[in-house]
């Protein structure tokens, strides 16, 4: 598919989606959301992609939220349809079987923060700014922010951010546990790609199993979570990657994982 609002590329097992509306600070309009959804479908069906990186075009913004020129025209029904569409797409992102890294290069506001929260972890530029400022528009986050942010940083910090609409710096986000690493702007993509390459060198079956076990167990009780882990561990043991990994260890060589998620 040809994209005009995102840039999608694949290199060395790493997929990259760049939100590409820099003049609008990469704001989420209907066309961008539709293209993002199509790209996620493409990624889900591509066995060659082991890791996905998300970032924004330009130096100012990752995604600066929903396109207010569209949002301002919605009635209640249109708002509900828009929110459900956004939630569906962001859930599709979170449910990808491969690891997803958000490289936040600037403003990640509203839907931008909500996209980043649905990735597996976040690297941020020192210039990154996070926030859910929808309260300032007389609305609330609609793409899952009221649910994912409290689960990540705690309910009280999340309530403060959402109730006040306050934006936080990258260093504050790091302190909250929202961000894994903060780097100088010019090093952001290099550091993100370096980590993505390490992940891409691992077995795809075990990456999928690890992500499923963590995500499936995080909101369950410990016993249920451990049961999910046992099943995921057992599935790994039947894969080509497990045979290769254990053989490589015993033979004192580097493992060459070539298994697929269909193992």
CB 65 within 8 A of CB 143: no
User: Angle, to 10 degrees, between the axis of helix 145-153 and the axis of helix 111-118?
Assistant: 50
CB–CB of 198/12 below 8 Å? no
Q: Which residue has the tokens 């990752």?
A: 62
Tokens representing residue 108 in the block: 């990640």
Cβ–Cβ < 8 Å for 64, 111: no
Per DSSP, the three-state class of 164 is helix
Catalytic residues: 114, 134
Structure tokens at 194: 């370096």
Give the position of tokens 């909101």: 219
């Amino acid at each position: 598919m040809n994209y005009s609002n995102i840039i999608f590329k694949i290199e060395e097992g790493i997929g990259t989606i760049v939100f590409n509306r820099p003049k609008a600070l990469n704001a989420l309009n209907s066309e961008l959301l539709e293209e993002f959804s199509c790209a996620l479908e493409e990624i889900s069906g591509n066995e060659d992609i082991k890791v996905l990186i998300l970032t924004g075009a330009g130096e100012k913004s990752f995604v600066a939220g929903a396109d207010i020129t569209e949002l301002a025209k919605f009635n209640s029904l249109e708002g509900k349809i828009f929110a459900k569409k956004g939630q569906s797409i962001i859930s599709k992102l979170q449910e990808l079987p491969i690891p997803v890294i958000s490289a936040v290069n600037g403003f990640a506001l509203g839907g931008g923060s909500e996209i980043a929260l649905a990735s597996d972890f976040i690297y941020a530029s020192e210039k990154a700014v996070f926030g859910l400022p929808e309260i300032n528009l007389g609305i609330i986050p609609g793409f899952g922010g009221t649910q994912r942010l409290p689960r990540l940083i705690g309910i009280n910090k999340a309530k403060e951010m959402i109730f006040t609409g306050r934006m936080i710096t990258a260093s504050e986000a790091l302190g909250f546990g929202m961000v894994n690493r903060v780097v100088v702007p010019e090093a952001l993509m290099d550091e993100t790609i370096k980590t993505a390459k390490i992940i891409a060198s691992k077995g795809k079956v075990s990456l999928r199993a690890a992500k499923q076990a963590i995500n499936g167990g995080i909101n369950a009780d410990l016993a249920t979570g451990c049961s999910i882990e046992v099943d995921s561990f057992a599935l790994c043991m039947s894969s080509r990657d497990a045979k290769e990994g254990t053989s490589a260890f015993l033979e004192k060589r580097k493992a060459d994982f070539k298994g697929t998620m269909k193992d």
